[in-house]
Amino acid sequence: MLLLGVMPAIADNEAKSDYYFMEAMRQRSLGNDADAESLMERAFELNPDPASEIAKSVAFARIATAGNDTATFIDALSRIDRYVELNPNDSYAAVSLADYYARAGLIERALPLYARADSLNPTQPTLALRHARLLEMMRRPDDALEVYRRVEMREGKRTQLTYVISNLLLNQKNDTIGALAEVEALTSALPGDIEALTLAISANTATNRPDEAMRLAARAIQLEPDNEPLHEFCIQTAYDLKGADAAFDAFAGSLASDDLPEQDKSALLGFFVNGMKVNPTDEITPVYYKATELFEQKFPENTSGMILRARLALLERDFERAATELAHASALEPTVGILRSEQIRMLVLDNRPEQGIAIGEDALRTEGLTDITEVRLMLAGAYMNIKNYRAAAETLRPLIDDPDLDDETRAEIISTIADAEQFYRPAEEVAALYERAIALFPSYNLAKNNYAYMIAEKGGDLNRAEELITAVLNAGERRPIYLDTAAWVAYRLGKYGPAIGYMDEALALLRNEDPEAEFMLHAGDIYYRAGMSEKALEFWQKGLETDPESKDLRLRVELKRIPE
């Protein structure tokens, strides 16, 4: 008699569960995912049948929301596993489960699931390719090839499919002849297909058949002479097969083509000099120069070659040549500010800051000048180089309220103004500029360092200076310049132990370099105050060797102490 009471209750629960399930589906369709999940969980509580659609839906939902909860994820995965076991023909659930297993590296569990889904859905190439890929991962090349062949029989020759088959033959069966035969069959089936040809070029390159690869490259260019990326591919192929001179010949051929516009040829030059993958041991720079000169002969008004030659000269530390190339480019394009700013930079690096200043001032008078911010920043740097700090600050001030600047750039400009103005304005006024820059860009470590150093040198709140430089070091910026500031701030606070620690760390980082004289002065003063006068004298003497004109260092060496 008891069973008669239980059966209606079970049926009632199943009916309620179905209702909650349908309502969950409706809520999901309306985009109410949270309500849908809650209803689905309620449906599952009423009918926890592991073979039901409800169980499947709940399990997948739990996986989606598990996040870093490993226990929930594993429990949900086991429920899907159980569901698939009870519903082996549900390919969607089986493939989803297989995907989870494959991503977790459990290939042995994923493989039979893909295999069954593939057998149940023989017209779905995606499933077959997943199946074959796992067979490859299991080092079962013959079984994988059988699946690939089945797809190819149904779908016909396809470049991507031939690619995976030829790779499998090369990498797992060491069958070079078979791999090339696959590629040749593809190009025969698709004689005008550029993707098929590029695959054939790559295959012949990989199997050391340079002449055939070059023949196919010429054929590809003949088919699509206006395809700029294809020209890049063929130039790279020529380099890979026969070296820099062959790549140059391929570039020259592309440059002579009537099918490519000047813009594409300029892009090809950029690829040849900057984008081509080359052996780092090859002496290729002369070929780069040769390419830029050939380009300039064909397009004398185009500045691309000049700019690239300037970059090459910069890599060789030939600042004079870099500046000359940029001057030539600027003469052709006087309103392009970035050319002027780079020209200023090269002149400063070549110890000709006054010429850089003249270029910068002329640029600012040029109507329609672009990249004005970059020009002003570089010009201000040139003024700083000759210690004309007022001119540097005045050059930058018009930029402060530029509405087009982002906070980081505005902070850089304000901080640079502060760097200049600390030489002729009261420290408390300059401090306000540094504070403004840091408020705009809180992770601007250079501003924090320079501000802290100014306080240590010119007076101010040393506790604020310590806070600033500590934040820089805590951010992982333990560069010698920052450690020197930390040491100098600690010194000013009378914390000689920490000061020596920072200074020793900085010196260790500079062990292969010659530190600046001011750095040696700081080190000597810190060691002297810590009671190590002989070591202090060594630092002062090294500093004086670097800067024989330093009165501060000379006086310390003569007195063998810090002057009172």
3-state secondary structure 123-147: CCHHHHHHHHHHHHHCCCHHHHHHH
Q: Which two tokens stand for residue 322?
A: 């870099």
Q: Is residue 190 part of a domain?
A: yes
Q: Does 548 score more than 50 pLDDT?
A: yes
pLDDT for 14 equals 67
Of 20-24, 181-185, 412-416, the least confident:
20-24
Among 390, 393, 385, residue whose Cα is nearest residue 415: 393
Position 20 pLDDT exceeds 70: no
Transcribe 451-469 into DSSP letters: HHHHHHHH-S-HHHHHHHH
Residue 181 within a domain: yes
Q: Are 323 and 307 in contact (CB under 8 A)?
A: no
**Would you place residue 93 in the very low, low, confident or very high pLDDT band (cuts 50, 70, 90)?**
confident
Percentage of the chain modeled with pLDDT above 90: 68
Asked if the model's pLDDT at residue 183 lies above 50, the reply is: yes
Q: Please report, for the chain, how many H helices and E strands are present, in that order.
A: 31, 0
Beta-carbon contacts of residue 302 (< 8 Å; ≥ 6 apart): 262, 266, 295, 296
Query: Which residue in 458, 459, 460, 517 sits closest to 484, CA to CA?
Result: 517
Query: Which pLDDT score is estimated for 17?
Result: 66
- Residue 315 inside a domain? The answer is no
pLDDT at 481: 93
Both tokens assigned to 446: 């250079």
Q: Check: CB of residue 465 under 8 Å from CB of residue 435.
A: no
Q: Which domain holds residue 197?
A: 157-209
Mean pLDDT along residues 232-252:
94
pLDDT at 127 over 60: yes
Phi, psi for 379 (deg, rounded to 5): -65, -40
Assigned domain for 173 exists = yes
Q: What pLDDT does 279 receive?
A: 92
Asked which of 27-31, 317-321, 324-328, 346-350 is least confident by mean pLDDT, the reply is 27-31
435, part of any domain: no
- pLDDT value at position 9? 46
Average confidence (pLDDT) over 340-355: 95
Other residues' Cβ atoms within 10 Å of the Cβ of residue 162: 26
For the cut 80, the answer to whether the pLDDT of residue 13 exceeds it is no
pTM exceeding 0.75:
no
Quote the pLDDT of residue 65.
79
Q: How many residues does the chain have?
A: 564
Structurally, how many domains does the chain consist of? Answer: 1
Q: Is the dihedral of CA 534, 540, 543, 549 positive or negative?
A: negative
φ, ψ at 495 (rounded to 5°): -95, 80
| For residue 71, pLDDT beyond 80 | yes
Report residue 21 as tokens. Answer: 């399930």
- Is 316 within the bounds of a domain? no
CA torsion, points 276, 278, 283, 284, in degrees to nearest 10?
-10
Tally the C-alpha atoms within 13 A of residue 187's C-alpha that lie toward its C-beta: 20
d(CA 37, CA 384): 64
Indicate the burial class of 530 (C-beta count within 10 angstroms; 0-12, 13-18, 19 or more): middle
Percent of the chain past pLDDT 70, that is, above it, reads: 95
Distance of CA 134 to the CA centre of its chain: 31
Query: Does pLDDT of 235 surpass 90?
Result: yes
Pull the structure tokens for residue 18: 């179905």
* Residue 172 maps to a domain: yes
- Asked if pLDDT for residue 36 goes beyond 80, the answer is no
Q: Which of 134, 103, 140, 105 is nearest to 118 (CA)?
A: 134
Residue 479 counted as domain residue: no
